[in-house]
Structure 1
Amino acid sequence: MEKILRRKKSFNGKLSESPATTTSSSSTYNEEEIEWEMRPSGMLVQKRCEKSEVSAPSLRLRIAYGAFRYDISISSQATFGELKKLLSAETGLQPGEQRLIFRGKERENGDYLDMCGVKDRSKVVLIEDPSSKEKRYIEMRRNAKIQSIHRAISDVSLEVDKLADQVSAIEKSIANGTKVPEVQITTLIEMLMRQAIKLDSIPTEGDASVQKNLQGKRVQKCVETLDVLKIKNANIKPVVVTTKWETFDPPATTHWEFFD
């Protein structure tokens, strides 16, 4: 609430209050408007002028935040809201997450330090707003869950990389006409399907869903490739390797000469 009282100030420095209907007298007066405002405490004080010619003295406050202690320098005409902004850089708490207690009472953002009796070396207690603390805890749990999901997808991705290399090796062998044991292809398909089951069991949303779908498509492509290779491998005739033996003539009979 604001009240505006009109007062006439004479040159001799005295203040005389007069109603709005009073006519001007022979003396010369200067009129000035004084604005008043009601503080949250119920005290009626003169409203501050935004542009003050006299610089306000600086205060050095002692801030207690749990086991931590901070020394903050701030203007005596600053508000508790401005003090919270300075404390954000020190504590990491956003202004909306802070509650400032002075003389056993929580102070509002618009309360001025000097109006509340704050002086140099005064102690102000900072506590974290309980609701913001709960929100932060929920956010931490959510981030931990997201990190766990990304790790699970990354583990599947590494396994799929290894299996994809084996698929490429089998594909190269069959392309060269080399028959591959069918159990090798069947086992590889089963291993890929296990990775597909792992992916399905991972609950995802947002970016994690994109990564999950990408790995799922990789597994599907590898399985489809192996199905095609299985058919090609069955049509390859096994190569019969025959050993060619080298034949030798029997050794010639040696004729021995006898002497008497």
Structure 2
Amino acid sequence: RPLPRAQQILLSIDEAKTEIDNIDGNIAGHLRIGVSHHIGLHRLPPILKEFSVHHPGVELNLEFLYSEEAAIKIQHGELDFAIATLAEQSTNTLNRDIHSTPIWRDPLGFVCATDHPLVTKSKKIDINQLASYPGLLPASTTITYGLVEEILKPYFQLNKLATPTDNLESLKMMVSAGLGWSALPLTMLDEDLQLLDLPQPIRNLGIMRHNRRTLPNAAKAMISLIKSNADTGSI
């Protein structure tokens, strides 16, 4: 949806200010980054630490939110960029003004508690067996849900599955407690979870930024550091 005229004028002023501030090449000032909860916990800490050491003049303002929210805030000029789950190019309905750069591949595994009935001695199960037990997934509007749905919809409908929260850490807790199965990043597996021998959807995690706006020097420096930590072949 087009931005109101007054907001467009304010964004134009901010854009001009950024271009002026960038001239001297200094890396300082405020940096507004949207971060998904999962990336903030499992991918970002060492990057933030390194950035803070090399650029102490930058004041980091991190906002934890979901990919869909991040796209809106980037469009409205409320974030310089975001690090979040990326939609597939062919199904990207977030916003045509948003440019995405994949950084990490994030495989998901179907998991349950180690004492769940789905766990068998052979570790082999039929994907249809999932329909017989409660499933716990994030909201149907999320990218993660869409990836899981693509695998499961040929076998059974997902509309009866619970979507209690979009927070993967909370879903992990519920699965560990035996409340149902879910699909979680393999990086979250521990001794309380059993990985089921089923297909593994893969999410792309990466950078979201506005196509037509100038990034402040601090944002350019942070993005460069993030890219240096990318999976081989991602960019």
TM over 0.5: no
Higher relative contact order (CA 8 A, sep 6+): 2
When normalised by structure 2's length, the TM-score is 0.24
Higher helix share goes to which structure?
A: 1
User: Whose radius of gyration is greater, 1 or 2?
Assistant: 1
When normalised by structure 1's length, the TM-score is 0.22
